[in-house]
Amino acid sequence: MQTVYLDYAATTPVDPAVAKKMMEYLTPDGCFANPASRAHMLGWFAEQAVENGRLQIAKVLNCDARELVWTSGATESNNLALKGVAETRRSRGNHIITSAVEHKAVLDTCGWLERQGFEVTYLQPNAQGVIEPEQVAEAITEQTILASFMFVNNELGSINNIAAIGELLRSKDIVFHVDAAQAGGKLTIDLKTLPVDLMSFSGHKIYGPKGIGVLYVRRDPDLKVAAQIHGGGHERGMRSGTLPTHQIVGMAEAFVLADERREQDLEHLQALRTQLWQGISVLGDISVNGDFESGFPGIINVCFGGIGGQGESLLMAIKEVAVSTGSACNSANVDPSYVLSGIGLNREQALSSLRMSMGRFTTTEEIEQAVNTIVTAVTALRS
């Protein structure tokens, strides 16, 4: 039996149209030259492809192409945003606000900044996984220079009110970074109107290739991001390194495709999630972690009652369905997902939960197969 892939929040396959485009920028007969080579036509063509990709993504996000910096992915974008701003604003204050349910790329970067002498407040989300603007307001001090909140949570699908948080932070002159790895290309993002200073994106969460990302840096004379990777001074000095033309062209193509298909993709995900939820509902004693109504429809995180925290056994029992638990395996035992603990689940509930994430290529037949497999396995575990 074929594996049903329900782990799109971890990564997506590259859309065949994207892969086809990328092939034109790799081989000897393609546009393979170094985009920084100014001495010959081949270099100019590569540079043109890079700048065209930048324009395409800028158009989708409604920002200026000069506001986009290529990186290796959202992990690097998050690192560059947080470390780069903390470094340039250190003389103004040392306090940073974020949440306890951010991606590790934000949490571990904040941990590193704490060791450099910064103070970080980690806000606890509500039961739906959402940070309330009032909490942010209460956490602000005279020392606050920077805040970072994710757009869509990768484990729950919960969506933060970025506009409301952004307005609040802007009124206090605090730099606002948003990790939009799970939102880019999927939700409408208008950076002309959204009060955000920095935003991280990734190629491989949106049917583009792995190893490419973007950091949006608002054009504002008062916003400076210190480089964290030094070299040839690429990307206006913010991020050195030879630009990977094929990855850039691929990410841009993926963004354009996602933008064109946004409504269609969202409706597809909504239908699949409803089918999945109704299918497994026959089990009884199951609940959604996060919020079904307000969350991103591509992600559903479910707690299965009566399996005594045996999420890992459930994962093993449904091998032909690829899902995730969010828990971390250490040598001796399993740590429950810090995101599920963060929204108030106890250890057993967190360890009885699975994240299922669907995508563009998921079919109703696959959901049917997944439902049958999960229902059988949970029933067996309960008895």
Residues that bind ligand PLP (CB under 6 A): 73-75, 103, 105, 150, 154, 179, 181-182, 202, 204-205, 213
Q: Identify which of residues 94 and 182 has a Cβ nearer to ligand PLP in the complex.
A: 182
Cα 189-84-102 angle, rounded to 5 deg: 55
Tell me whether residue 329 is one of the annotated catalytic residues: yes
Instruction: Kindly state the smallest distance separating residue 140's Cβ from ligand PLP, in Å.
Output: 24
Q: Which amino acid is at 145?
A: I
Instruction: Kindly state the smallest distance separating residue 19's Cβ from ligand PLP, in Å.
Output: 18
Using CB atoms, what's the residue nearest to ligand PLP?
Answer: 73
Q: What is the DSSP string of 30-61?
A: SS-S-TT--SSHHHHHHHHHHHHHHHHHHHHH
Instruction: Kindly state the smallest distance separating residue 106's Cβ from ligand PLP, in Å.
Output: 7
Q: In this structure, which long-range contacts are made by residues 273-279, counting pairs with CB atoms below 8 Å and at least 24 apart in sequence?
A: 273/297, 273/298, 273/300, 273/358, 275/364, 275/367, 275/368, 275/371, 276/300, 276/356, 276/358, 276/367, 276/370, 276/371, 277/302, 279/367, 279/368, 279/371, 279/375
Instruction: Kindly state the smallest distance separating residue 179's Cβ from ligand PLP, in Å.
Output: 5
Q: Which amino acid is at 199?
A: M
Q: Identify which of residues 56 and 79 has a Cβ nearer to ligand PLP in the complex.
A: 79
Q: Identify which of residues 156 and 169 has a Cβ nearer to ligand PLP in the complex.
A: 156
Q: Identify which of residues 149 and 304 has a Cβ nearer to ligand PLP in the complex.
A: 149
- Positive or negative, the Cα torsion across 71, 72, 78, 83? negative
DSSP label of 281: G
Give one word for 268, left, alpha or beta, with left for phi > 0 and alpha for psi -120 to 50: alpha
Q: Identify which of residues 54 and 186 has a Cβ nearer to ligand PLP in the complex.
A: 186
Instruction: Kindly state the smallest distance separating residue 154's Cβ from ligand PLP, in Å.
Output: 4
- From the list 316, 311, 317, the residue with the least C-alpha distance to 334 is 311
Contact criterion met (CB below 8 Å) for 226 and 276: no
Contact criterion met (CB below 8 Å) for 88 and 226: yes
Q: Identify which of residues 273 and 355 has a Cβ nearer to ligand PLP in the complex.
A: 355
Residue 2 dihedral angles phi and psi, to the nearest 5° = -80, 150
Which residue of the set 31, 110, 303, 329 is catalytic?
Answer: 329
Give kind and range of the element (H or E) at residue 18. helix 16-23
Which residues are catalytically annotated?
329
